[in-house]
Amino acid sequence: MQSVLVVNAGSSSVKFQIFEAHAPNALRGLIKGQVDGIGAQPRLYAQASDGSILIDQSYAATEVADVPAAMAIAAGWLRQTPGIELIAVGHRVVHGGPDYDRPVLIDKNVLKRLERYVSLAPLHQPNNLAVIRSLLTLRPELAQAACFDTAFHRSHGAIVDHYAIPESYYHEGVRRYGFHGLSYEYIAARLNEIAPDIAKGRVIVAHLGSGASMCALAGGRSIESTMGFTALDGLPMGTSGSNRPRRPAVHARRKRDERQSS
């Protein structure tokens, strides 16, 4: 059956889902899985839409040392799954910069533009692009689309988007982008389905987890976000903004304090 693969590649896991394209503009979930513990305790786990477990397999850390290796493991297993004929792949990409305010088909030129934003989201962007790069090499005929966490916030007004710096920096791309946009876009769509009267007004939404932010909606559109130029802005998060490794001195001091307290 013709199927679409959706991939969300993080720093320590690659999550994926397979959807059957059984009708125009309609998808039916078939398989949901992930490779987690990359570089430490890798594990491939997947289940069918009815909840039955399809695979639960562990690997040595050296076998799945990075995101491309994790994607290769998942792809190898999917190729062996009967009846799966991939026709397209959709990717979550954290940073689309000022260029992209909606999903885009990926080619080498798009990939090159997205590589410019690696330094602005160093924990996520390299891993998002690593999977895309691998598939461009292995399956160049396969259509790939990028969906951006920044795109939903491109509806911000000019005042919200600007920092108090010279205008020339804005035109070079230094502006408030906002992130977690795919999450907020989904929430805005669902809110319109279950509470349309509320969705037409002003709503504050919180995205809370290891990564955290808040977004102000008006009529289902983003008008303000706590995140800005990078994903470091805004609410405190699980790893001090989740885009920079903890400093060795701080890490050592915390370990010392933990030993003393115990």
Residues identified as active-site: 149
Q: Is the dihedral of CA 125, 126, 127, 128 positive or negative?
A: positive
Are residues 79 and 3 in contact, defined by beta-carbon separation less than 8 angstroms?
Answer: no
Cα–Cα distance, 72 to 200 (Å, whole number): 44
Q: Is the dihedral of CA 51, 53, 54, 58 positive or negative?
A: positive
Cα–Cα distance, 143 to 145 (Å, whole number): 7
Residue recorded with tokens 């720093």: 11
**In whole angstroms, what separates CA 154 from the centre of its chain?**
17
Residues 6+ apart with CB under 8 A from 178: 150, 152, 153, 156, 213, 215, 222, 225, 227, 228
Are residues 4 and 88 in contact, defined by beta-carbon separation less than 8 angstroms?
Answer: yes
**Tokens at 126, concatenated:** 């390299």
